[in-house]
Amino acid sequence: MTSLAGRPTRIVVDLDAITHNLHAIRARVGVPTMAIVKANAYGHGLLPVARHLQAQGVERLGVAFVEEGIALREAGIRVPILVLGGIFGPQLGQFLAHDLEITVSSLDKLRQVEAAAEAAGRKAAVHLKIDTGMARIGVHGASAGPFIEAAVAARACAVVGVYSHLACADDPAHPMTALQLARFATACAHFERIGAPMPLRHLANSGGVLHFPDTWLDLVRPGLLLYGVLPDPAARATVDVRPALSLVSRVVYFKVVRAGDTVSYGATWTAGRDTRVVTVPVGYGDGWPRALSSPTASAPGARRGGEVLLRGRRHPLVGRVCMDQFMVDIGADSAWNEDEVVLVGRQGDDAIGVAEVAERAGTIPYEILVGLNLRIPREYVGG
């Protein structure tokens, strides 16, 4: 917990909400869960969230980079951890030393992993990545046979899993998911053809969990959904999840802006009347998007200017968002220095969700959450 004398801006993470979301996902899918905690647990805090998930009995964790996996191991996290990103050969010793599961995405990568494991006198735990339509990393499904055969035969590798990633599952009506599922099934059938045991098959991300039961297979990999946010405006809320993150700050300045006067850089917003404006100590230096500037000052791609909650009412941002501060037009309303301002979360009878912030900034909820950087202190409640 931050002290009352600390920075007035803070992120509050509700660990009980994460628990609720994990249980709701488990109840829907009925298979084990790999909780995705990459990118600082989507802005919620890598170590506190991972510790909490481990205490809740989560079966596995997923990260993007080996450095994230090492941080988890050094913090005492003992559950299996898969590094989802493409491997960089010189780092393979770090994977092995910290007992991290490795994504193998080509025959060449397989040979690198096998050589590193043999040199270390260890057996590498690997998940084979099949490209079924993302064209990011992975062996094409149609040519997966020789890759799977080589992986099964590799003496210094244990094939723990085989997986792919869904490109369009956030949209329940998109036909791409059925095509990817078929391609994945064709690739996995090669294990049976060569008489090898089937490893853990995993395909479903948050969109798959929400919309496509056929993709649940042996393991699901929820990310954004675990934190209580739907991945797309088209997504159906088939799982009852609760937002886990709030972002709050305080008023640090109050002034009257006269009609005709301008606010912030570029003088892009002009008061049409005498009005009251407050300053909030948050800016793009914290990851709060500049695209939330008032419409006449928005960066390209912004749809609507941002809003905040102050004394239970919505008020618009005016002028450009600065690196460390932004201004809010409260009209004829009253406010005092140190009044709470809610950027994300609930105040009174209203709430501003991450999805709304993303829509106003012309981006996606993922980018809003992971953009909230470590300059903002985090508090944890519940758990």
Residues that are catalytic: 38, 265
> Which residues on neighbouring strands pair with residue 157, listed in sequence order?
124
Whether the Cβ atoms of residue 223 and residue 53 lie closer than 8 Å to each other: no
Report d(CA 68, CA 311) in Å as an integer.
Answer: 39
Give me the phi and psi of 109, to 5 degrees please: -65, -40
Whether the Cβ atoms of residue 337 and residue 346 lie closer than 8 Å to each other: no
Report d(CA 111, CA 144) in Å as an integer.
Answer: 15
SS (H, E, C) the chain: CCCCCCCCCEEEEEHHHHHHHHHHHHHHHCCCEEEECHHHHHCCCHHHHHHHHHHCCCCEEEECCHHHHHHHHHCCCCCCEEECCCCCHHHHHHHHHCCCEEEECCHHHHHHHHHHHHHHCCCEEEEEEEECCCCCCCEEHHHHHHHHHHHHHCCCEEEEEEECCCCCCCCCCCCHHHHHHHHHHHHHHHHHHCCCCCCEEEEECHHHHHHCHHHCCCEECCCHHHHCCCCCCCCCCCCCCCCCEEEEEECCEEEEECCCCEECHHHCEECCCCEEEEEECCCHHHCCCHHHCCHHHCCCCCCCCCEEEECCEEEEEECCCCCCCEEEEEECCCCCCCCEEEEEEEECCEEECHHHHHHHHCCCHHHHHHHCCCCCCEEEECC
Report d(CA 225, CA 252) in Å as an integer.
Answer: 34
